[in-house]
Amino acid sequence: MCRDVMYSAEGRIIARPTLIRWALTAAVASWALLVPPAAGVEEIHGPLAIRNQSPVQILFFQFVPERAVPLGHRQVRLRLDIAETNTLAAGVGREGLQGRLDLEMTYANFQARIGLGDEWELGIDLPIIATHGGFMDGFIDWFERLIDYERTVRAEERRQDMENEFTYRVTRNGETVLQGVEGRVGVGDVAIQAKWAPSQLRETASTPAVALRLAFKAPSGDPDAALGSGRPDVALGLALEKTLGRWSLYGNFNGTFPIGNRFEGSGLNPQPIFSGILGVEYRFNPRLAIVGQLNANSAPFRHTGLDFLDDWSDWPALGLSWAPTPAWRLQLGITENLFTLADAGGDFGFFLSASYRFSL
């Protein structure tokens, strides 16, 4: 069989990759992504594992979007979610409040879940948070001009040559109320969670699966570095799921209730936070799916006059789910605040999630 060759400076023959070799490489890659896996692999991938990445929202507990179906008895899932988000917001509020958030945040969440019987899941979330100046400002400027969505505050930042600088501070009459630290890496607020999916609420031909979620967040993050709220939270949630052939529809609806207020006397009074997602998944085959999702969060504070503390945010996410083996599942995607005020949530971000499942 003939093959292309090339010669080194010394005259030795060096093989050049042939068309056949490239074709084989492409075939292997296509098989890994597209060929259905062995029997027994769960076909449903689930919603995208991404929270609202506003630096203010992550002070309080948020449920990660999940399916309404429990793992199963003695099933264990370990998962790592990583999100990189850029935030830029500034304003002057009421009663002497003013602030500016200009930073990137890397948010890594280590999650462990175990199935207890056929109806219960119990788990723990351990977040690791890093706040820094980042690297995405130039790309975001280009992207927002491309879609004709450039924000005034970004244009001003570019004119002042302040791209990728770090600012995270809220003050009242000159005194610091909330402040992040550049280059700080630390543990956020740890949370214990449970999910209950009674057999009476499993999916039927005409009704969705329904599960109840419960959570308690402990104040383990350093509040002086904006790694946590400094107080516990409790949370309740509902997860719904309906499958229609290759399509699956998801809904999560949640409420988070802060206990206590470390900001007392500053004009910041934490309020119940309501959130939810609506998601749709299309499976090309059992290995590969595309997922679109619309997420929304109410504000953790009220009546401050600062948009990034007061306003609702809703933001879409788009991603791919891939199951390379029966035990592993990967997700990756992007988020962009397109519909409501960009100040109220993370402006732009991308995320990656990897989970491993096994039986005890």
For 133-225, strand residue ranges (E) read 167-172, 175-179, 184-187, 191-196, 209-217
The average confidence (pLDDT) of the chain is 84
User: Going by DSSP bridges, is the β-strand pair 97-116/75-92 parallel, antiparallel, or unpaired?
Assistant: antiparallel
What is the C-alpha separation between 323 and 329, in angstroms, rounded?
4
Amino acid at 259: I
- The predicted model gives 117-126 an average pLDDT of 96
Q: Is the pLDDT of residue 90 over 60?
A: yes
All domains of the chain in start order, with CATH: 44-359 (2.40.160.40)
Q: Are 137 and 167 in contact (CB under 8 A)?
A: no
What confidence score (pLDDT) does residue 31 get? 44
Taking the CA atoms of 224, 311, 106 and 113 in sequence, report the sign of the dihedral they define: positive
Residue 340: band (very low, low, confident or very high) from pLDDT cuts 50, 70, 90: low
Choose from 24-33, 54-63, 311-320 the range with maximum mean pLDDT.
54-63
pLDDT tens digits, one per residue of 192-214: 999 999 999 999 999 999 999 99
User: Among 41-50, 129-138, 256-265, which is the least confidently predicted range?
Assistant: 129-138
pLDDT tens digits, one per residue of 4-54: 444 444 444 444 444 555 555 454 444 444 444 434 345 789 999 998 888
What confidence score (pLDDT) does residue 360 get? 93
